[in-house]
Amino acid sequence: MDTLANVRTDLDALSTSFSDRTDDDILVQDDTGTHYQSSYTYFYVPKTNPDRNSANDDAGLGAFLRLGQYSDVEQTLPNDTEIRNYYPNKYVDLEGANAPARAGGAGGAKGILLSCDGRILIRSHQEMLVETNSYHHRVSGDHELDVSDTVTVTAGKTIKKQASDGQIILKTGSGAAKDEGTNAKAIILDADGGAADLVENVKTATRNVGGNDYKVTKGATHSWTEGTTTSFYWGAQCSVSAGANFFMSMGADCFVKPFLVVSLTSFSVAATGISLGVTGFNISATERNLDLISMEMQVKGVSAETEAAAARLTQIESNIANCAVETQNIKARTSSIETSMGNVKSDLSFLIFFA
């Protein structure tokens, strides 16, 4: 009995001694990750399940949650491969060998590290709010975003979309909505309400417009084409210009019109060095015509001019002032001169003029 009493006394004393201790030696429990008076706390599940008595922190990553600054588990990671198992590759690329020591944050801040070799599943039946100073998101495989309502992306500066090896597809509407045209949704590109620019830099541009095409340009339009331009119009064309037009061709031009051509011009000026025309049938009605041509060559198969009425009015006015004519010994003899002016006939025979 005395022996048992002595043992109990010793145990009570030891318990009292432990309760008075506040240093890390008693508060830190091995293999629990619960460091109450350190700068971190973690929960660790090893990759394998060894014997309970031999489990330690180097059994590989299964699941790891650390709160605070970097832990002894991170401090003892043996190589870059193990470091990248715990940390994102982007972070390791930025920090290099200092990744574990700086994992908590700058200036001694306390962070959260969550890593595992399996799935991370998050399910919320209400809102989920994430706010951070800087954000990096990387997916090694496919990334799918499925939203049943509106998606709004707002950036204070540039929004950049890039596909390094693939296409970028913008698509709205499909199926019956597209065929019926009642529920079809539009794609709108708005550059600051029309005050900013739209820049396109492509190799080949293809536009398929199933309906009408409208274009409104309030400024100048400039076009530079170094290749051949081919246009086909299967409908009527109407072009109205309220200003002047200038056309210059450095090569030969060919215009073929198998049907009617109607041209209305108030005033026309043409300067032609050499003109060659081949006309099968020509009908012209000209009110006033003035042609100043250095050289003209026309080859016509058939030329016909039909005039319902032709009238020529010529007004001749001669003013002679201070004119003196002196003629001596001039004899002029004219015989058999016949002049026909309508129904007037004049016969001047044997008419001699003497001066």
DSSP annotation string for 317-350: -----S------S--EEE-SEEEEETTEEEEE-S
For residue 180, what pLDDT is reported?
Answer: 52
pLDDT tens-digit profile of 68-101?
Answer: 988 888 888 888 888 899 999 999 998 888 888 8
For residue 315, what pLDDT is reported?
Answer: 46
pLDDT tens-digit profile of 261-299?
Answer: 777 777 777 777 777 777 777 777 676 666 655 555 554
Rounded percentage of the chain residues whose pLDDT exceeds 90:
18
CA distance 15 to 30: 19
DSSP annotation string for 109-159: --EEEEEESS------SS------SS-----SS------SS------SS--
28: which DSSP letter?
Answer: P
pTM: 0.55
Instruction: Give the contacts of 46 (CB within 8 A, at least 6 positions apart).
Output: 55, 57, 59, 60, 61, 62
DSSP annotation string for 163-193: -TTS--------THHHHHSSS-------SGG
For residue 12, what pLDDT is reported?
Answer: 64
- Which candidate, 107, 115, 117, places its Cα nearest to that of 69? 107
Least confident of 9-23, 150-164, 165-179, 233-247: 9-23
Identify the burial level of 220 via C-beta atoms within 10 angstroms of its C-beta, where 0-12 means exposed, 13-18 middle and 19 or more buried. Answer: exposed
Instruction: Decide which of 180 and 148 is more confident.
Output: 148
- Which candidate, 82, 85, 103, 104, places its Cα nearest to that of 94? 103
**Average pLDDT for 304-309:** 43
Instruction: Give the contacts of 333 (CB within 8 A, at least 6 positions apart).
Output: 351, 352
Q: Is the dihedral of CA 84, 88, 93, 94 positive or negative?
A: negative
CA distance 127 to 116: 25
CA distance 282 to 302: 8
Owner of token pair 């994992």:
103
- Is the pLDDT assigned to residue 131 strictly greater than 70? yes
CB atoms within 10 A of CB 86: 22
Quote helix, strand, coil % in the chain, to nearest 5. Answer: 15, 15, 70
Helix, strand, or coil (residue 100): coil
Helix, strand, or coil (residue 48): coil
